[in-house]
Every structure is written in structure tokens, then in C-alpha cells.
Structure 1
Amino acid sequence: MWKRKIQLSGFLISSLGWVFVLCTMAMDYWRVSQVGGTGGSFIIKVAWFWSNLWKDCFTDSSGISNCRDFPVLWSVTAYVQGVRGLLMCGLGLGFFGILFCFLGMECTYLGGEDQMKDKLLLAGSVFHFVGGLADIAGYCLYINRIAKTNFSGNQPRGTLIYDLGEPVFLGLVASFFILLGAILYAVTVYRILFPKSPENGNGTQTYMAARSRGQTLYNGTYRPSRLYSRQYGSYKGSGRSSSYQLSTISKTSIEKMSERDAFV
């Protein structure tokens, strides 16, 4: 029961993480910069410059936005193209991870035998983990670019200083959700796929001795076969036990005594 609960928790957490990552790719305000907003007149003039992975926009104080879509694929800024590629690779790996984990979960009736389901679940957890690392790398690349621009001392005068927006932080939290779900998956199948060998009190491994013709290597006692005969009321084997012989002798003596009393 605990195994199913952990697997369901991993499925919900990892799936929620992938949904958040997918949402961040379509969200605005990956980076935002504000110009103006200070006093000096009865009308406060302010403007916002913001960007995401697909366009660069300008919004004035009246709420009107003017956007410029990024050019074709091979003309996009290198770091933006890298972030896109890492996030898309992560989403692709996450799709296969969700599929394998769904087939390998104990509560589903797909995927074959228990051993095969455990292997599918372990493979799915690996896909989730690698996809989550790819997403973290993409978000960290974007953060590094913004931080490099902000803290560089040789920027020309008038360069906009951008701050990180909500999608970046949401994506990082989602990536850690994915990694947590992958760990929960792996915990439930690690002991089944890689069992530990039994050990005795001295810390050394023990081995089970093979039985040969009803005799063990430990005590050397004879064990008859398990075929039961109703005709004789005993076990059939190559030999008779001492208890059987005693019961036969007592039965014979009782019959002889009854015959002698009848003759008298």
C-alpha cells in the first residue's frame, strides 16, 4: 500500500512540474525593466520594457503594448535559442518519463509482469531526472545572462537594466518538483531491482545449500518424499521410519493376542 501511495505522489508532483514548465514557455515578463515612474509633475510617466522567449515588447503608462517578434530561427540571440532548446529537450524527455511511469506504476494494469513494470518505472524516473536537469540548465542560462548584464561594469551608458520575472522563478520550482518526483519513483523500485544479499551475524554472505535426495548438508537427516498414501496411512519413500515400524509391531501383537483368547 505504501508503494502505491509513494508512486501516486511522485506522479502528481512530477506531472505538476511539467505543467508549470510548459506554462512558463508561454508566459510574458521573463525579464522586465522600468523607465520613469518618478515624480516632478502631476502626471507620472512610466514605461516598461519586457521580453520572453518569443518577443520583445514595450508597454507605456496607458497600458498599450508594442511588441516585436523575434526573427527567424537562425537569427535569434544565442542564449535565447539555448534556453528554448534546453526546455524543449526537457519537455520531450518528460513526455516519455510520464508514459513509462504510468505503465510501470503498481496501480495500473498495463506494462506486463511486476519485474517489467519496475524496470519501466525506473526508466521513467531516469527520464524525469535528466529532463529536470535540462530545465534547470535552461533557466540558469537565462539567469546568468541577466546577471552578467546587470553586474558588468563596462556597459555603455543608457543600457537597460533588466530584472528577472515570475516565469523564471516558477520554472525553477517546477524543475525541483520534477526531480523530487523522479526520486520518489526510484525509491519504490530500487530494492526490488537491486536486492541486497543476505548476511549472517559475522557480516559475511550466506548461501543456501542445495537439497539432494531428501538430505541436507546441515544435519544429514533423512526426509521422505511428500507423496501421501491413504492405503498405508504413511509417506511413501525409499525407506520406512522407526515410528512406522513400531506401529506395525504393536498392531501385529494385538492381533495375535485376540486370536489366542478366541481359541481359549
Structure 2
Amino acid sequence: MNAAVEAMAFFLGFFGWVMAGVAIPNRFWRVAEMEGNVITAATVYENLWMSCLVDSTAVHNCQDFPSMLGLSGHVQASRALMIASIVLGTFGLVATLVGMQCSKIGGDNYILKGRTAALGGIFFILQGLCTMIAVSWYAFNITQEFFDPLYPGTKFELGQGLYIGWCSATLALLGGTCLLCSCSVTTKEKKLSYAYRGPTRGTAYTTSVTTTTPHPYDRNAYV
């Protein structure tokens, strides 16, 4: 049962890692519709790296952000967190693959493999937290600007890249939690098996020997 849980957790973490890699280059983190007539209508969409505009003739015009230091603080933080998410997910995949019971990579030391799998679960949880913070922070700024009546710029809405990021974070958190729960159950079972193990062969038993002193009027006293 634990091996099946570890395999399921590995695939959850793997799909979460893949979806995080899909969310980073996705262009539709925030989308805005530019109102106008049929000729001047356009759609603006942005992500962490570039800003694009598509007009009514379906012509796309994308431009990278000119300066990283000139970006908003939440965009820079989201970039760093998403990159850290990919790195942590990579470590989590390697550690989980080595620590799984059905894997022969780490040898037959199941105690060490269990600890390695638990470390992989921690990496998956950190990956999910980084992705969740980055996506949620970015979405918070979008909603804050959208509902601010005094905001003079273009008001954007949530794009599909944010939803991909939320799904990625959820899968990574589920995979890491399953790994930690599986390792904790395995540790408890091993402790119980050692606790109920009977005495082994060659165990020395001590018995108390009662010594009695001879009575002064015993028959041996007269010999």
C-alpha cells in the first residue's frame, strides 16, 4: 500500500512540475480587451516576460519588457518564485525516485530510502508553496487594480496562465503530503514490529537461587 501511495505521489509531483513549466512561458497571465469599433478593437495580454497585443486582423505584436529593474515588485518576485519552484520540483523528483520502495536506485536500505522519499515530499511542498505564492500574488495585484476606481491604466483580468499555476501548486502540495504521510505510516509500522518481536535465541535468563542455612539440630550436625 505504501509503495502505491509513493507512486501516486510521484506522479502528482511530476504533473505539478510539468504544469509549472507550462505556466511560466504562458503568455496569458493577464488579459485586457481594448474597446473600440471593429477596426480598432484589440486584446492585450501579458505574462512575466513580455507584453503582447493582437488586433482585429489577428496580427500579434509582442515585446519583451525592456528592463527587469523597471518592473513592478510583484512581477520580479513572481519570476523568482516560479524559477525556484522549477528547481525545487526537480530536486523533489530526483529524491522521490531514489527513495521509492519500488525503485532499485538507492539500494535495499529502506530506512534511508524512506528518509529520502520524505525529503522529496518536502521539496514538492516547497515547490507548491512557491507556485501558489507567485500566482496568488500576481492575481491579487490584478484584482486590486481592476476594482480600484482611481487606477488610470489598463484594467486587466485573470488569464489562463494563473489557473495553470494554481493547478500546478495543488498537485505539488498533494504529492508532497502523500509522501510524508506514507513515510510516517511506514515508520510507525517498523516501530511496532520491533516492539512486539519476541526474545531471540541465546538470551540469558537469570533465576534467583534460594540458599538455606542448615538447622543446628539437623542430622548432618551429628556426623
Structure 2 Cα separation of the partners of residues 193 and 7 of structure 1: 14
Residue 229 of structure 1: aligned partner: none
CA contact (8 A) 2:42 2:53 kept: yes
CA contact (8 A) 2:95 2:116 kept: yes
Q: Which of the numbers 56, 75, 80 marks the counterpart of 1:80?
A: 75
Residue 58 of structure 1: aligned partner: 53
Are the structure 2 counterparts of residues 122 and 137 from structure 1 closer, same or farther at C-alpha, using a change threshold of 3 Å?
A: same
Structure 1 Cα separation of the partners of residues 76 and 136 of structure 2: 14
Following superposition, the deviation at residue 184 of structure 1 comes to: 1.5
Alignment TM-score, normalising by the size of structure 2: 0.82
CA contact (8 A) 2:88 2:123 kept: yes
Name the structure, 1 or 2, with higher relative contact order (CA <8 Å, separation 6+).
2
Structure 1 Cα separation of the partners of residues 191 and 15 of structure 2: 38
Residue 117 of structure 2: aligned partner: 121
Q: Which of the numbers 150, 158, 162 marks the counterpart of 2:156?
A: 162
CA deviation profile, 1:78-103 (whole Å, cap 9, x unmatched): 21111000111111111111100000
CA deviation profile, 1:212-244 (whole Å, cap 9, x unmatched): 63458xxx9xxxxxxxxxxxxxxxxxxxxxxxx
Structure 2 Cα separation of the partners of residues 192 and 215 of structure 1: 36
Question: Unaligned 5+ residue runs, structure 2?
Answer: 209-223
Q: Which of the numbers 66, 72, 88 marks the counterpart of 1:93?
A: 88
Structure 2 Cα separation of the partners of residues 9 and 191 of structure 1: 16
Across the aligned residues of Structure 1 and Structure 2, the Cα RMSD in angstroms comes to 2.6
Structure 1 Cα separation of the partners of residues 203 and 103 of structure 2: 42
Residue 10 of structure 1: aligned partner: 9
Q: Give the ranges of 4+ consecutive aligned residues of structure 1 lying more than 6 Å apart after TM superposition.
A: 208-211
Structure 1 residue 103 and structure 2 residue 98: aligned?
yes
Are the structure 2 counterparts of residues 116 and 29 from structure 1 closer, same or farther at C-alpha, using a change threshold of 3 Å?
A: same
DSSP-derived class of the 2:69 partner: helix
Q: Which moved more, 1:95-104 or 1:49-58?
A: 49-58
Following superposition, the deviation at residue 44 of structure 1 comes to: 5.9
Match runs of 1:117-196 below 5 Å: 117-156=113-152, 159-194=153-188
Structure 2 Cα separation of the partners of residues 212 and 9 of structure 1: 44
Alignment TM-score, normalising by the size of structure 1: 0.70
